[in-house]
Amino acid sequence: MLGAFANAFRTPDLRRKLLFVLMIIVIFRAGSQIPAPGVNVANVQQCIDLASQGENASLYSLVNLFSGGALLQLTIFALGIMPYITASIILQLLVVVIPRLEALKKEGQAGQTKITQYTRYLTLGLSLLQATGIVALARSGNLLQCELPLLHDDSTSTFLVMVITMTAGTAVIMWLGELITERGVGNGMSILIFCQVVATFPAALWEVQKSQGWWMFGVVMAIGLVIVAAVIFIEQAQRRIPVQYARRMVGRKMFGGSSTYIPLKVNQAGIIPVIFASSLLYLPAMAVQFNQDAGSGWITFVSRYFVNGDHPLYMITYFALIIFFTYFYVSITFNPHEVADNMKKYGGFIPGIRAGKPTEDYLSYVLSRITLPGALYLGLIALIPLIALVLIDANQNFPFGGTSILIMVGVALDTVKQIESQLQQRNYEGFLR
């Protein structure tokens, strides 16, 4: 494997791409450490240290994860890549609902370019809303529930400058991600997400060592290696449905007669169901934070069962939501009717299954069966940090579980495959043997 890395860097154009990606990552991480104008850095750091011992920071743990810890530090890249992820998910859902977007998707590259442009506009709109909310929370002192002022002054000019700076930071992140996609290796946005998640990994591991000692640290590392191996196994697992294309004569040439397959991944939905479920469960917790009426019954109920994350009712609800959103997302991203029609149009058929409606029913049957283990897998991986919170008193950013491990393994595999394909074009031995 080290030899393969050496071969990658010996190839001039591939070496330039890798060095370019590393340069963008350095710029990205530097921007995640530069505080926004008007932020009282000393007070913010002190409040973060106090919040890490309590419960309040967990309300923002998902967004803070995707910002590499920059959110709570109120840096110029505080919003991270989360607005772009949210915008991409919204556009994916709207493509199914709005006929105009569905028509654009079918136009090929030109239509996809327009959808990408819509995603950029929506990202800027969402980042403006999120920046306004976060700066308003910091201005009022509710962001970290700390008595120390997080800003040097709470004037309107400072408020507007911070909002504009964070929104512009999101635009710069989008630009950096597109630069990696065009001139680097792999999907730029995915690599930036990977960097932000990995940035929180060492601190989370060291927190386990400080609170539990070296013996528990070793146990966590051993369990982590097993989890990583299991995630790799499931992420690579797929059901291959064979497809045969009949021979047909077009003019004087014979086409078809080839065989291929439809790869149905066990985890067809990726990490999207975990993000949906986490976001939905954060809503009542954030509503409680803004409403301090302690005498209200629903506030008492939410505070008891849905704030800490270590209550069995919270875990059961979280698990059930992940399963629901897995089936929901798979149903809107993979259309058996469309696949069956395309196969019939081009003379393809599944051996032993008639074309048309029987093929659609067969694909729906296989998809529903293969989605169940994928949904259970996502639910169990997402519950690992919550179980660790109960067993070893780790924080909710426990590294080996949840969205963090899914992102790290998924993006790492995809990037290695991209480099592998480019190495194979140059007749080098790649990473995956």
Give the tens place of pLDDT for each residue, 97-118.
888 888 888 787 788 888 889 9
pLDDT value of residue 298: 67
Q: How does residue 56 score in pLDDT terms, banded at 50, 70 and 90?
A: very low
Q: How does residue 297 score in pLDDT terms, banded at 50, 70 and 90?
A: low
Q: What is the mean pLDDT of residues 346-369?
A: 86
Q: What is the mean pLDDT of residues 388-404?
A: 62
Residue ranges of domains in the chain:
32-184, 201-433
Instruction: Give the integer Cα–Cα distance in Å for 18 and 7.
Output: 12
Using the predicted structure, report yes or no on whether residue 36 has a pLDDT greater than 50: yes
pLDDT value of residue 243: 86
The more confident residue out of 20 and 426 is 20
Q: How does residue 167 score in pLDDT terms, banded at 50, 70 and 90?
A: very high
Using the predicted structure, report yes or no on whether residue 387 has a pLDDT greater than 80: no
- Tokens 């592998």 belong to 420
Using the predicted structure, report yes or no on whether residue 168 has a pLDDT greater than 90: yes
Residue count of the chain: 433
Among 154-163, 168-177, 214-223, 315-324, whose mean pLDDT is lowest? 214-223
- Tokens 């990205």 belong to 28
Most confident stretch, 102-106, 119-123, 257-261, 382-386 = 119-123
Query: Phi first, then psi: what are they for 345, rounded to 5°?
Result: -65, -40
| 136-146 core/surface letters (b: 16 or more CB in 10 A; e: else) | ebbbebbbbbb
3-state secondary structure of 96: helix
Residue 323 near residue 269, CB atoms below 8 Å: no
Torsion, Cα 12 18 22 23, to 10 degrees, reads 50
Using the predicted structure, report yes or no on whether residue 293 has a pLDDT greater than 50: yes
pLDDT value of residue 308: 63
Q: What is the mean pLDDT of residues 43-64?
A: 62
pLDDT value of residue 57: 45
Most confident stretch, 141-145, 174-178, 331-335 = 174-178
pLDDT value of residue 258: 72
Beta bridge partners of 75: 35
Using the predicted structure, report yes or no on whether residue 163 has a pLDDT greater than 80: yes
Q: How does residue 121 score in pLDDT terms, banded at 50, 70 and 90?
A: very high
Residue 284 near residue 277, CB atoms below 8 Å: no
Cβ-proximal residues to 399 (8 Å cutoff; 6+ apart), any chain: 200, 201, 204, 205, 224, 405
Among 48-57, 186-195, 260-269, 373-382, whose mean pLDDT is lowest? 48-57
Identity at 69, one-letter amino acid code: G
Q: In the CATH hierarchy, which top-level class contains the domain 201-433?
A: mainly alpha
pLDDT digits (tens, 9 = 90+) for 313-327: 888 888 898 999 899
